[in-house]
Structure 1
Amino acid sequence: MDMRLVKALKRFCLITMCFFAAITGLKAQDFMVNIPNRSQISLNGKWECIIDPVDVGIKKWKSLYKDVPNNKDHRTEYAFISSNTLNVPGDFNSQRPELKFYESTVWYKKVINVKKKKGKRLFLYFDAVNYVSDVFLNSEKLGSHEGGFTPFQFEITNKVKDGENAIIIRVNNRRQKEGVPALGYDWVNYGGITRDVRLVETNETFIEDYFVQLKKGSGKRIEGYIQLNGSKLLQKISIKIPEAKINHTATTDHKGNAKISIDKKLELWSPSNPKLYRVIIQSETDSIEEHIGFRSISTNGTEIILNGQPIFLKGVNFHEEASERASRAYTKEDAKKHLNMAQELGCNFIRTAHYPQNEYVVRLAEEMGFMLWEEIPVFQGISFGNKKTVTLANKQLTEMLRRDKNRCAVIIWSVSNETYPNHTRTSVLKSLVDSCRVIDNTRLVSTALNKYEKKGNVFTIKDDLIEALDVIGMNQYLGWYNGWTVSPEDIVWKSEYNKPLIISEFGAEALYGHHGSNDDTSSWSEEFQETFYRKQITMQKNIPFLSGTCPWTLIDFRSPLRLHPIYQDYWNRKGLLSEQGYRKKAWYVMKAYYDTIK
């Protein structure tokens, strides 16, 4: 066995033991995969709410189930009222003006009607809630979850009753020093039940998880596993891909797990041919299907190799924000709009910064032929020396990989963005990289760095973390934050590593429709941003080990850190598009550049 993998396994086991020790007492369970194709009832819609600015309700949550006083000598101070509602999914910040930058607790309530079925199990499934959530059912606490961008679930089979059941959720989006992300990040901290909520029904023993992808380094061998959940764990299972004439059978072990290995020449997925196969997974007690693509991704020196051929990543970044309505994006239509914008720019690659975005984005990207970089929100200011923080980072990484490991569009897992080199940070991030490879060794692993050494006109990339990575990500803002100390055409980038480089961020701010100087940073003009992009492209063309580039960002987004009252007004204006989707001059520069790359 590869010694690097052996070391990775040891580190992963240690992290996992620490992780499970840390979450003792919490009841959020490992969620089932492929949630869109499960039997379910949507719990989206209007939920009653209580705004709790000082978070006093957490001490008296049981009273939230008592909307009516017991007698004339009692009163209720915390009452849900049917006329006081918030939309789910949706952030609470954009639904009421007074909550624009609110960071504290909101309580949600929904009454559901349930008719229990013999031999069936029920799960309460959340696609995402930001940031801490405590979930209650009929005066009983089900458990908690921390992290704003990954799913979680609770089994409620033996907790619901026939008829009406009351679900109450405490959601708190207050930034935490020990959190992931921590206190300082450059996007609006949209709080609430921001993605879909579902009541999922399964058989008593069901297919909980599976991994069906090409083996690393192979163009025709499918490897992976199937995992059952329930009382009947010893079963015969099958994987069928009718179009490819595959009907593979196996038997699970006493833990409900079956390894799979299938040799078959397949039509491979690529941006120019986003081929997806209908895959049917069956056990004796369950059946589930979805569409899965197969492709190989690797590196060869400084090149990124897709299906055996070098490819240049023509990318862009965007946030999970519906900028035109200044809210969290949460619908399939929102995802489609962003991806259409990227397609119009000429992209084949998207960095979904700085957190796992809605599953709609990932699945639609796969259908449309976009390669993806997915990232956990280990952002500036993270407390790498804090055990809770490290545990949370590992948990969020595990949840991201669990949800999207069957999505062939994802070619890069990223463990962080713009962290500052020191021994503790590097050790933690190397452990996260190890975790990636233990869970899924079929993809590349990277991170977005932002430090380099400058000597004259030579910029040298150095970071102890790079040794553990497959691809180098570099955020650089020469010409904006740092100025052009050297003419772009004279800049020489060097790397001590024989690895591909992606310029994972670069950009400058401009207010759409505002015109002025093309060489004055303080002009905030489209002309300055346009000239900035021309200079960046000139510089980037001279980097021999460059394999991809990602402008920051596709579209202007809201940020409480951007305070200029005229040009920003709580918006980060680095978008190639305005918040209403209008094209700035720089958009055309980037479009022309991408059109030259085949």
Structure 2
Amino acid sequence: MNSVSIALSVLIGGMALDARETVDLTGKWTFSFGNEAPRQVDVPHTWNAEDGVDGPKTGRHPGFSVGSSSYRRGVGTYERELPVKPGKDKRYFVRFDGASIVTDVAVNGKPVGRHEGAFGAFCFEITDALKDSGNTITVKTDNTFNKNILPLAGDFTMFGGLYRPVTLIETEQACIVPDFYASPGVLVSQDKVTPQSASVTVTTLVGFRKDGMVDVSTTGYDSSGEPVTKLCMGRTGSLVKVEIRDARGKVVASGEARPLHQPDAAFAAAAGKLPDMAAVTLNVPEPVLWQGRQNPYLYTVTARMFVDGKETDRVEQPLGLRTIGIDPEKGFLLNGKPMQIKGVCRHQDMEGKGWALSKADEEKDMKMILDMGADGLRTAHYPQSGHIYDICDKSGMIVWSEVPAVQMVSDSPEFVKNMKQQAAEMLLQHGNHPSICMWGIFNEIGHLNTAEDRQVDMEAVLKGLKGHVKSLDASRPVVAATNQPGRRSLNEIPDYLAINTYPGWYGGGPDGMRGSIDGYLRGRETLAISEYGHGADVAVHEVPVRQPRPVSSHHPEEWQAYGHERNYNAIRQRPEVWGSFVWNMFDFASSERREGAKHGINDKGLVTYDRQTPKDAYFFYKANWNPEPMAYITSRRFTERKAAETEVKVYTNCDSVTLYVNGRQVGQPVKPDDLCVARWDKVSLDAGENTVKVVARTRGVVVADSCVWRLSR
């Protein structure tokens, strides 16, 4: 985002105070749904953890409306006592990391705020609603479908509840504001990054409970860099100091500025009314660049607020210095170095928990993604928790974060307002994360077959959304995922297009990926694959495997693996494809799906919904993406065999692999192909139990894997 650069020659020393206190409000709350009797629950919480994956109550299939009523949708009420005794000259805020879909908050019966949207954080000041003691907060969350709130449709369950953490924040009267779109209040932009230096602008948003506006003569700079004198409104005795520290804690740049009531015009127009701002532009000499998984180097930005020489607040934010670009011949560029992003998509739910995941759950998810060797993550189809982005910053993932504009949009004023609000929340809350390298603005937008829907100018709405995103952050490319090759005017809206395509699953054969890429590339220089994949049930097997019907209950694990082999083989050979994102990393809840072994589940994940079983296809990618030596026997769960001869297929990144059945070596060691696949045809099994083992060798390292198959005749 753009900022006004201001230089002030004001030197005020001060003593640091532990001025900001935060209290975790997760844990026990009293909860009731509708007219049900109240009970105790643990927040984060959802009331749809079970019925959100029950499947449709009718014979419809597939159903992709988030307006579904196949699970409980309505108002859930949460209540608890606030652990606070208000102090003199203190301010109090409550921050919600996420609640679904519409949330009304009251303290001691007094309304303090309303939020519309399921995926963004929100924060309300509650100072004026507090009593001396015995303070109670009441939160009503409503996951009823609302035609004025994104998303209007989608192939996923809209879990209701207070499903992310809640925090109570205490600050001084003068503070770095936590309630401006629930942003951190410290907005960091990288203006120019080279190996020699990096220019970083830090804009700190501050708020004052007491008046004290005064005229302040400041020195700023015009677009050509010439100094100009401006008369602005400021606060007497206030100052913001900013430091950038390297990974060892050494200060590498510092500066200061007086907060001014002089917001950047373009930013103010996009974000609405702004608090006072203190903008400091700093130079980091010879920066260590954030180079993805190769070297995810992080600096720390610290903004400290002073009033009359005393520190009243401080906020720290991550800083990863990098440049990003997309080149038709080289692909995605990180600091000028080309890479084809090897990514996955992720939904934020898990068996037995729905959306109400703990930090440990999220860390487990990311560990499985990182262990597989992926270097990219698409947080489909909505912004995910700040903790997920923190992990991506530290681990070096390239992230595509997107607005929840899924399948359809409306042009009503209420909808457009909410769409822009949710976009602003995503950008302002998460824009400091270096891992986020692109903003997504839509997924598979199309028209329904209704007269009312056909009147909506969806493309005009999405062009307006792109302009809104660009006005808040012009530093990142805008991308979008489409599944409509014929909608050229729609597909030209984003800076860079990506496609959702499923060769070998929804039509065509698994070798159709090349044709999909060619079809969308016509007249276009570059492309990404935002979704591709196949369903799989780890209890369903077939050798040799045939292409199944997606809407059937027969989703053999072997077909998913074979489909990914063929799809990825086509992707990796195309330099015009700057990245790909497997759909999906984990099985996820889709309440209206009626297919596979369990209805209500989209089983295209590389890992089961409970996270207990990585499927065969997971290890295909691990062999190709993670250089750590490994070997994995596929179809290992196909334990009961009836054919005396079978193929044995192994995923391995080693130089050679040897197969043994019941201790007998089968043939000669095999060299895997360039997709890390080793095969043996017509391997004979003994009647009864067969121990199948492989031993793989590479550069002096030996790894092994084994499983047991039983042959019954």
TM-score normalized with structure 2 length: 0.69
- Letter of the 1:250 partner, please give it: A
**Cα 1:490–1:120, aligned 2, differ >3 Å: closer, same or farther?**
closer
Check if 1:393 corresponds to 2:419. Answer: yes
Q: Which residue of 1 aligns with 2:387?
A: 360
Task: Determine the C-alpha separation between the residues in 2 that align with 1:158 and 1:131.
Answer: 26
Residue 148 of structure 1 aligns to a residue whose secondary structure is coil
Residues 95 and 478 (structure 1), Cα distance of their counterparts in 2 relative to 1, 3 Å cut: closer
2:199 counterpart (214, 221, 234): 221
1:429 counterpart residue number:
462
Between 402-411 and 514-523, report the one with greater CA deviation: 514-523
Match of 2:610 in 1: 580
Give 2:139's aligned residue. Answer: 169
Partner of 1:30: none
| Alignment match of 1:85 (pick from 11, 19, 40) | 40
Match of 2:77 in 1: 107
Partner of 2:565: 534
Local SS of the residue matching 1:46: strand
Aligned partners of 1:111, 1:482: CA distance in 2, in Å? 55
Shift of 1:237: 1.8
* CA–CA distance in structure 2, aligned partners of residues 96 and 125 of structure 1: 28
Post-superposition shift, 1:392? 1.1
3-state SS of paired residue (2:562): helix
Classify the secondary structure of the residue corresponding to 1:121: strand
Distance 2:387 2:343 in 1: 19
Contact 1:330 1:358 in 2 (8 A): no
Residue in structure 1 matching 2:335, options 297, 302, 307: 307
Closer, same or farther in 2 for the Cα pair 1:278/1:583, shift >3 Å? Answer: same
Separation in structure 1 between the aligned mates of residue 24 and residue 340 of structure 2, nearest angstrom: 40
CA deviation vs aligned residue, 1:64-108 (integer Å, no higher than 9, x gap): xxxxxxxxxxxxxx9x75xx1222112122279999921111111
Match 2:530 to one of 495, 504, 512: 504
Answer with 1 or 2: which has the greater Rg: 2
Assess if the C-alpha contact under 8 Å between 1:86 and 1:92 holds in 2: no
Offset of 1:162 from its aligned partner? 1.2
Whether 1:250 aligns to 2:257 is yes
- Distance in 2 (alpha carbons) for counterparts of 1:320 and 1:485: 28
Rate the CA distance shift 1:451–1:158 in 2: closer, same or farther, 3 A.
same
Q: What is the letter of the counterpart of residue 254 of structure 1?
A: H
Deviations 1:387-443 (A, max 9, x none): 221111111000011110111110011111110288821211121111111111121
Which secondary structure state, in structure 2, belongs to the residue aligned with residue 473 of structure 1? strand
Preserved CA contact (<8 Å) 1:301 1:498 = no
Out of 37, 40, 44, the residue aligned to residue 22 of structure 2 is 40
Give the distance between the partners of 2:525 and 2:251, measured in 1 at CA.
35
Distance 1:501 1:470, change over 3 A: same
The one-letter amino acid paired with 2:110 is E
What is the distance in 1 between the residues matched to 2:167 and 2:517?
53
Deviations 1:266-314 (A, max 9, x none): 1111221111112221121322224322211123345322112222211
SS of structure 1 residue aligned to 2:321: coil
**SS across alignment from 1:515:** coil
Per the alignment, residue 68 of structure 1 pairs with none
Which one has the bigger strand percentage?
2
Aligned mate of 2:169, from 189, 195, 200: 200
Give 1:251 shift: 2.5
Write the letter of the residue equivalent to 2:586. I
- Cα deviation code 1:189-247 (max 9, x no counterpart): 21000111111111111122222232166561112422211146533222112425212
Q: Which residue of structure 1 lines up, in the alignment, with residue 363 of structure 2?
A: 336
Q: Distance in 2 between matches of 1:85 and 1:426?
A: 46
Q: Residue by residue, what CA displacement relative to the aligned partner does 1:132-152 show, whole Å, maximum 9, x if unpaired?
A: 111122122223111011111
> Counterpart of 1:240?
243
Paired residue type of 2:497: I
d(CA) in 2 for partners of 1:38, 1:336? 27
Do residues 569 (structure 1) and 599 (structure 2) align?
Answer: yes
When the two chains are superposed, the root-mean-square deviation of aligned CA atoms in Å is 2.7
Alignment of 1:408 onto 2:431: no
1:218–1:175 distance in 2 versus 1, CA, 3 Å: farther
2:127 matched to 1:157? Answer: yes
Output the amino acid matched with 1:134: D
Query: What TM-score results when the alignment is normalised by the length of structure 1?
Result: 0.82
Q: What CA distance in whole angstroms lies between the structure 2 residues aligned with 1:166 and 1:246?
A: 44
Match of 1:270 among 291, 304, 315: 291
Residue 34 of structure 2: aligned partner: 52
Q: Which amino acid aligns with 2:239?
A: K
Asked if the contact 2:533/2:604 (under 8 Å) is kept, the reply is yes
Sort the Cα spacing of 1:115 and 1:547 in 2 relative to 1 into closer, same or farther, 3 A: same
User: 1:44 offset after TM fit, Å?
Assistant: 1.4
1:321 aligns with 2:328: no
Is 1:211 matched up with 2:187? yes
Worse-superposed segment, 44-53 or 228-237: 228-237
State which drifts further: 504-513 or 274-283: 274-283
Is the CA contact 1:317–1:352 (under 8 Å) kept in the aligned structure 2?
yes
- Whole-Å separation in 2 of the counterparts to 1:283 and 1:129: 31
Letter in 2 for 1:315: G
C-alpha contact (below 8 Å) 1:187/1:560 kept by paired residues: yes
Once residues 447 and 489 of structure 1 are traced to their aligned partners in structure 2, the CA distance between those partners, rounded to angstroms, is 20
* Identity across the alignment (%): 27
Per the TM alignment, residue 591 of structure 1 is displaced from its structure 2 partner at its CA by 2.7
Is the partner of 1:328 in helix, strand or coil? coil
Aligned counterparts of 1:100 and 1:426: Cα–Cα separation in 2: 31
Contact (CA 8 Å) 2:242, 2:304: kept in 1 or not?
A: yes
Task: Say whether the 8 Å CA contact 1:518–1:529 is kept in structure 2.
Answer: no
Q: CA deviation at 1:174?
A: 1.2
Query: How far 1:327 moved relative to its partner?
Result: 2.1
8 A contact 1:216–1:441 mirrored in 2: no
Q: Distance in 2 between matches of 1:467 and 1:217?
A: 29
Moved more, 423-432 or 354-363: 423-432
| Partner residue, 2:5 | none
Distance 1:518 1:126 in 2: 48
Indicate whether 1:442 and 2:475 are aligned.
yes
In 2: Cα distance, 1:492 partner to 1:406 partner? 33
Write the letter of the residue equivalent to 1:253: L
In the TM superposition, residue 464 of structure 1 has moved relative to its aligned partner by: 1.8
Any idea what the Cα deviations from partners look like across 1:497-540, whole Å, max 9, x if unmatched? 55532201011111013101522223410111112112212332
- State the number of aligned residues: 524
Aligned partner of 2:148 among 172, 178, 183: 178
Partner amino acid for 2:416?
Answer: V
Bigger proportion of residues as helix = 1
Provide the rounded CA distance (Å) in 1 between the counterparts of 2:192 and 2:525: 18
Gaps (5+ residues) in structure 1? Answer: 7-36, 54-77, 454-461
Change (3 A) 1:38 1:480: farther
Q: Which one is further off, 172-181 or 147-156?
A: 172-181
Amino acid aligned to 2:161: G
Unaligned runs of 5+ in 2: 3-18, 55-68, 178-184, 213-233, 263-275, 307-311, 448-453, 627-673, 676-713
